[in-house]
Amino acid sequence: TTKFTSAVDIPVEFVKKNVKLRGKVHRVTEKGLEVEHIPISIPFLTAIQRRWQSKGLLLVRLAGVELAPSGVAWLQQELKPKQMMWFQLLGREDVALECLVLVNKGRFLSVCLNEEILRQGLGRTARIEGLHHDSRLYWKLHKRLLRAELKALKKSKGIWKEESYSEKIRDRVSSNKLVQTLKQFVSWLRSSISR
């Protein structure tokens, strides 16, 4: 029933047991999601506690995901302010929480944002900070994330999209030293003639 307003407020046991917490998204930043923790409510007790609860937002990062800039933009578009979500604690690093983030899509369907980002090709799989490298949970989650990334790679989505043959040739020609020198000469010639 306690409202957590910073990562250090969360008991170590909660992180060790990978507890799921509920929250509302406030903002998506380059550093992660700013989330307001919504504690379990007990009618009479909650009304009393609300008076003494401090205000603050938790910084939640998507565990095992290295976001591309397009991934941050996608999250900003996809997540609405005050949208409810669940975040499973996997680790804590200074002021940030490493979590598996679940968002409801419809009544009975929820989506894991960590996997969805990778499935869309908007990030890369990274080490899951906070979990022991030799734990079963680490490898179970890492395997799920790698599968999601592989789907994007196979479909050439997002950062895995390959340039077409004509784009590759155009880039090589435009970056060629001789072509760049010719462009400079032509622009100099034009400016000389116009004088």
On whether both 12 and 38 belong to a single domain, the answer is: yes
Q: Is residue 1 part of a domain?
A: no
Q: Is residue 106 part of a domain?
A: yes
Q: What are the phi and psi torsion angles at 100 (to 5°)? A: -95, 120
On whether both 172 and 91 belong to a single domain, the answer is: no
Nearest partner of 56 among 104, 2, 108, judged by Cα: 2
How far is 5 from 41, CA to CA, in rounded Å?
A: 16
pLDDT digits (tens, 9 = 90+) for 120-164: 999 999 988 888 888 898 999 999 999 999 999 999 888 888 766
Looking at the predicted structure, is the pLDDT value of residue 15 above 80? Answer: yes
CB 72 within 8 A of CB 28: yes
CB 20 within 8 A of CB 88: yes
Contacts of 20 (CB under 8 A, 6+ apart): 86, 87, 88, 89, 102
pLDDT digits (tens, 9 = 90+) for 22-75: 999 999 988 999 999 888 766 655 555 555 566 788 999 999 999 999 999 999
Q: State the residue range of the domain holding 178.
A: 165-194
Looking at the predicted structure, is the pLDDT value of residue 85 above 60? Answer: yes
Residue 106: its pLDDT value, please? 75
**Tokens representing 56?**
């603050």
CATH code for position 151: 2.40.50.90
